[in-house]
Amino acid sequence: MHMVVLTKGVPDFREGQVSFDEDGHLERGKTPTVMNPNDRFALEAALQTRVRHGGRVSVMSMGPPGYKEVLQEAMASVYADDLHLVSDREMAAADTWATAITLSAGIETLGEPDVVFAGFKTADGETGHTGPQTNWCLDMPLVTHVISLDIDEDEGVLRAKRLVEGDIEEVETVETSLPAFVVTDPEFVPSYRTAGERLTLKDLRAETQERAEQYEDFLTVRDHADINVDPDYIGLDGSPTIVSSVDPIPKAPAEREATMVNPSDSAAMQDVLEAMQSALGNGGDVAAAGGD
Amino acid sequence: MTEHEHYEALVVGAGPGGAAAAATFANYGIETLVLERGVEAGSKNVSGGLIYAEQSAPYTIDDLFPDFREEASERPITRYRIHNIAGERVESFDLSNLHEHDTEWSDSVLRRKMDSWLEDRVHERTRETGGGLLTGVHVTGLYREDGKIVGVETEELDPITADVIVAADGVNSELARDAGLMDWDEPDEWFQGVKAVADVPSDVIADRFDIGADEGAAHLFSGDLFEGVRGGGFLYTNRDTLSLGTVFHLDSLVAERAEPHELLDSLLTHPLLAQWLGDDYTELEYSAKLVPDSKKVALREPHFGRLLLVGDAAGQMQAQGAIIKGMNHAVTAGALAAEAYAQAKSRNEPEKAGTRYSRKLRDEGVMKKLRPRGYELVRGLAEDDGVTEIVDSVLTSAVGRAGIRALSGQLGRVYNVPMLSAMMPDTRTPYVTLPTVIAEELGTRVREESSVTPPSLEARIGDLTYDTDIGSPHITVLDNSYEASGAAVTACPVSAVDFGGGCYREEVVRTNGSEERVVSLDTQPCVECGTCAVVADTEWEHPRGDKGVEFKWG
C-alpha cells in the first residue's frame, strides 16, 4: 500500500509560543512554525494502515523551504518513510484552490497512491477546503470526518466510521473502493488489537525516529516545473479568492461581574453563601422546580 | 474454535522474574511475547532495594544480563549493620557475615532505572525470536478453552494463546488468583513495605556513611520505635539517593491500627538517623508494596497446566529476620521456568514443564530457602501466644536481662547465623522484645538530635504521578461496613484516620435515627500495593494499562 499524507506548517498557537502585537495581529517572526495539530490524526491513520498492510507512507507539504522542519516533525512525532516538499516562489500566496492544484500535481508525481490522507482544517486558515479540493483534482472517492478505519486489501475496499456532519453523536459506517481520499476527524483513534500489530508499531516508531535524525536524506524538494504545473494556475496568480479586508475579532464583553474569593477566607465565603441564598430566594420558582 | 494470535511463550510482567524468564526463552530460541502493564517497565514496581547474586543460585541477574551491575544497579553493599533500639539507646551489630553468606555480590537498586534497563534488553532479545515486549498492556486473567488454560485476556488486545505462560505479574498477580493458586485472605501471610527515596548527593553519602564511590551501606533497625508492630526498618545507600523504609507484618499493622506512614516517620525522625539524614531531608518519592511471606505462601507447586508462576506471584519472597531476598529468587525462578519448558519440549512432553519447574526449584535449593525446615519445626511451638508471653516475660525479667548481658560478646555472632534467621518465629519476641532488651541492657545513648521533618501524607500523595482512569475505579468495596473494611483506613499506606485526601476514609451515616460507621473509597491516590485487597472486603484489580500511579524511582 502506498499512502500519501498532506500536512501544513502553521503558527504554534499554544500559550507561551504564540505572539500577538498590540493590535492583535499575529507576529509571524516571533511565533514558531509547527505541524498543523490536526494533521497528526491523518498521520496516525496512515501509520495504522502501514502497520497492518505494509508499504510506504509519503508525507507532502507545500510551502516555503522552512517547512522542511514541519516534515521532519511529522516523521519524528508519528511516521514517514519519505518526505516531499513542493516549494518555489511561484507558489507563494496561494489560496486553497491554487494549493489544491499544486498538491494534486505533487501527488501525481509520486505515482498512484492507494490512500491519500489529510487532516481536518488547519489551525491558521480554518477553511477545511484544501483536502476536499485536492481530491476534486484527483477525482477519488472522498470520505471525511473519519474516526476509525479498516482496509480490506484483497477486496480493495476501505471501510470507515465517520461522524455525520461532524457530530460526535451520529456515526455512520461507509465503504468505498480504493484508491480513496480520507480526511481524518480529530476524534480519530488508531486501533491496534493484536500484539503483532503493536510490535510492528514499536519497530516502525523506532525506525522513523532514527530516520528523522537525518530527515534530509529522505526529503525531495520539487518546484513547479518538477511537478509539471503552469505558473498561471498556482500561487497568487492562480488564486481566485480575494481577501477584501481583515477585521480583528472584538474581545467579547464580560456578561457578568466576577469577584475572586479565597476559599479559606471564612468571612468572604459567608458572603458567597449569602449571595447564593439570596439568588435562590429571588428565583424561588426555578429553585422549587429544580428541587422536584 | 476461534483462531487467536499465538506465541510459543508468553511472559506476563517485566520485572526481574519476567525478564529472566524471557531472556532464557530467547536463549533457547523460543518465540516469546512479554506483556507489561506499566507505561515503562519499573513504573509500577517498588522494592526495598537490594538485589543479591547468590553463589548457590543456578542463575543470577548478571548471568542473564552481563552489564547489569555497571548500568542498572546503584552501589555494591559493602557494609551491613543492624541496630537494636530502645528509646534513644542503641546497640548495633555488624551483619557482614550474614550478608556475605552465600553471596557473590549484592547491589542496591532503584526499580524504575533497573527494570527499564532490563526492558530494552528483553525487547531486543525477544524481538529476534519473533516476539517482543509491549508496555501498557494489562493482562486481566487467563483465557481458557474447554476449561483448559490456553492463553491470557487483556484489556487492550484480543485474547492471545501460548504453549507456555509465565506469570511474573507480581505480588498482586491476577493470573495466580484466576488459577486459584493464591488468595488475598489472610493478613498474616503478608508484609507491607513502605518506602521513601531521599535526595542526597553522592559526595555527601560518601562523607556521612564513610564509604567510597563503589561502596555502599545497608542498615536495619528494630526495637521499640514502631509502636510494638512486628517488623523493622531499613536504609540503603544508592548512588545519589537513599532508600529508607519499613516492613511490617500486615496482621500486626491491622491489630495495632498503626498508620504505616507514621511508622516510617518514626524511623526517619529517630536521632540515630540524624548522622545520615542531616538537616536537609528532601524526599523524592513515597511508595508502598505488599510482600509475600514465603515461609507461609511460597507455592510448592507453582504451576497449573500451561501456567508457571515466578517471583512474588508465586510467593517467592524470603523475608526472614535480617535476610531479605526477593528479586534474586524471582530471577532464578524465571530462568528455571523457561529452562523447564525448553527441556520438556525437547523431550516432546511440554505439558510436563510445570512439574519439571517445581522439581528444579527443589533440586536447586530455592524451595529450601523460601520455606526453611527450621521454621516449620519451631513454628508450632514458638508462635503459640502463651509461649510468646512466657519467653517475653523471661526476656524482660531480671534473669533475661542478665542473660543478655552475659551473652553480650556472642550476640553479634548469633545474629549472623543464617539458620537462626530462617527459624525466626513470627512473634513480637525477635522483632520487638529482644532488640529492645538488648538496647536497654547493652546500648549507648545517641547524642545527635533529629531535625528531620518528613512530608505530610497529603504532600507525599501530591508529589506522586498519576494517570487517573477517570470514571472506572479499579477497586470496588463490596462491604462498606466498618467491621468488614474499616481496617483499610489505617493499614492503607495512602489513607489515615481523619485524613480526607486518602483512599479510604471513615464516615458516619445517620439513617432513620440510627448511626452506622461505614468506609468510603476514592481510588485516585492508590499506589496499587494491594493492602486493602487483604484487609478489606473489596473487588481488587490493577488499573488499565498505562493508568494509575507511575513511580519515577521505585
Distance CA B487, CA B494 (A): 13
A221 Cβ contact partners less than 8 Å away, ≥ 6 residues apart: A65, A68, A85, A86, A87
CB proximity B5 to A under 8 Å:
yes
Cα separation values, B7 from A195, B34, B160, B165, B227, Å: 10, 10, 8, 10, 51
Looking at residue B478, which CATH number applies to its domain? Answer: 3.30.70
- Residues of chain B predicted below pLDDT 50: none
Out of B5, B35, B137, name the one closest to residue A196 (CB).
Answer: B5
Q: What ipTM goes with this model?
A: 0.91
| Whether residue B244 is found in the same domain as residue B387 | yes
Among chain A residues, CA nearest to B127: A199
Do both B129 and B155 map to the same domain? Answer: yes
The answer to whether B350 touches B303, Cβ cutoff 8 Å, is: no
SS (H, E, C) B33-47: EEECCCCCCCCCCCC
What residue has cell string 529472566? B20
Distance between CA atoms of residues B346 and A177, nearest Å:
49
- Do B26 and B85 lie in a common domain? no
B137: chain A residues, CB-CB within 8 Å: 195, 198
**What cell was used for B440?**
536497654
Residue A64 burial by CB count (10 A; 0-12/13-18/19+): exposed, middle or buried?
A: middle
CATH number of domain containing A26: 3.40.50.620
Is A195's CB within 8 Å of B35's CB? yes
Check if B33 contacts A (Cβ < 8 Å). Answer: yes
Cell numbers given for B156: 487492550
- CATH code of the domain containing B335: 3.50.50.60
A179 and A287 co-located in one domain: no
Judged against a pLDDT cut of 80, whether residue A132 lies above it is answered with: yes
Q: Quote the CA–CA distance of B480 and B486 in Å, as a whole number.
A: 8
CB contact under 8 A, B134 and A193: no
Same domain? For A225 and A174 the reply is yes
pLDDT above 60 (res A284): no
Q: Are residues A102 and A210 in the same domain?
A: yes
Domain count, chain A: 2
Could you tell me if A159 and A283 lie in one domain?
A: no
Q: Which residue of B has its CA nearest to A203?
A: B127
* Domain-terminating residue out of B399, B428, B463: B463
Do residue B274 and residue B408 come from a single domain?
A: yes
Nearest-Cα distance to chain A for B479, in Å, is: 31
Q: Are residues B131 and B94 in the same domain?
A: no
**Cβ <8 Å between A195 and B5:** yes
10 Å CB burial of residue B468 (0-12, 13-18, 19+) is: middle
Rounded Cα–Cα distance for residues A220 and A204 (Å): 21
Q: What cell numbers appear for B284 in the block?
A: 523524592
B160 and B56 both lie in a single domain: yes
Q: Please state the domain count of chain B.
A: 3
Domain membership of residue A140 (yes or no) is yes
- Could you say which of A194, A202, A203 has the minimum Cβ distance to residue B158? A194
**pLDDT score recorded for residue A282:** 61
Q: Sort out which chain B residues have CB atoms less than 8 A from A192's CB and list them.
A: 157
Residues in chain A within 8 Å Cβ distance of B127 = 199, 203
Contact B461, B543 (CB under 8 A): no
Residues A63 and A109 in one domain: yes
Q: Give the cell for residue A184.
A: 481524518
CA dihedral A11, A16, A21, A26 (to 10 degrees): 10
> Within this chain, do residues B358 and B278 fall inside the same structural domain, yes or no?
no
Instruction: Answer whether residue A128 is part of any domain.
Output: yes
Residue A166 has pLDDT above 80, yes or no: no
Asked if B35 reaches chain A (Cβ–Cβ under 8 Å), the answer is yes
C-alpha cell at A211: 530516520
A159 assigned to some structural domain: yes
Q: Where are the alpha helices (DSSP H) in B128-273?
A: 174-178, 202-209, 250-255, 260-268
Longest dimension (CA), chain B: 75
Q: Which residues of B touch A191 (CB under 8 A)?
A: none
Question: Is A199's Cβ below 8 Å from some Cβ in B?
Answer: yes
Query: In terms of domains, do A62 and A143 share one?
Result: yes
Residue burial B217-239, b: 16+ Cβ < 10 Å; e: rest: bbbbbbbbbbbebbbbbbbbbbb
Q: Which of these ranges, A184-193, A267-276, B309-318, has the smallest mean pLDDT?
A: A267-276
Domain with A288 in it: 259-292
Domain shared by A65 and A194, yes or no: yes
Q: For residue A66, what is the DSSP state?
A: G
Residues A181, A290 within the same domain: no
Cα Rg of chain B (Å, integer): 23
Chain B residues within 8 A of A203 when measuring between CB atoms: 127
Same domain, B167 and B94: no
SS3 content of chain B, % helix, strand, coil (to 5): 40, 25, 35
Q: What is the DSSP letter of B212?
A: -
Residue A11 and residue A88 in one domain:
yes
Within this chain, do residues B90 and B213 fall inside the same structural domain, yes or no? Answer: yes
Inter-chain contact B132–A199, Cβ cutoff 8 Å? yes
pLDDT band, residue A289 (cuts 50/70/90): very low
CB within 8 A of A54, min separation 6: which ones? A1
Statement: residue A288 has pLDDT above 60: no
- Clarify whether residues A139 and A39 are in a common domain: yes
User: Domain range holding B10?
Assistant: 5-74+109-182+299-370
For residue A199, list chain B residues with Cβ-Cβ distance below 8 A.
33, 127, 131-132, 134
CA distance between the termini of chain B:
43
A241 is a domain residue:
no
Mutate to test the interface with A, among B5, B12, B152 (most CBs of A within 10 A): B5
Paired sense of beta strands B465-467 and A9-11, if any: unpaired
Answer yes or no: do B31 and B100 share one domain: no
Q: Is A158 domain-assigned?
A: yes
Q: Which are the contacts of B412, defined by CB distance < 8 A and separation ≥ 6?
A: B93, B94
Q: Is residue A124 part of a domain?
A: yes
Look at B499 and A285; give whichever has higher pLDDT: B499
CB contact under 8 Å between B160 and A195, yes or no, is yes
Chain B residues within an 8 Å CB radius of A194: 5, 157-158, 160
Which chain A residue has the Cα nearest residue B124? A203
Domain-embedded: residue A246? no
Domain boundary residue, one of B463, B489, B510: B463
Q: Do B251 and B396 fall within a single domain? A: yes
CB contact (8 A) between residue B5 and residue A198: no
Are B217 and B190 in a shared domain? yes
Residues B175, A164: Cα–Cα separation, whole Å: 43
b vs e for B249-270, b when ≥16 Cβ sit within 10 Å of the residue's Cβ?
bbbbbbebebbbbbbbbbbbbb
The residue among B335, B370, B405 that closes a domain is: B370
B209, B237 contact by CB (below 8 A): yes
Residue A79 located in a structural domain:
yes
Could you give the CA distance from residue A31 to residue A15 in angstroms, rounded to a whole number? 11
Average pLDDT, chain A: 90
Distance CA B85, CA B439 (A): 5
Question: Are residues A283 and A167 part of one domain?
Answer: no
B289: which residues sit within 8 A by CB, 6+ positions away? Answer: B46, B47, B171, B192, B193, B529, B530
Question: How close is the nearest chain A Cα to the Cα of B314, in Å?
Answer: 26
Do A51 and A168 have their domain in common? yes
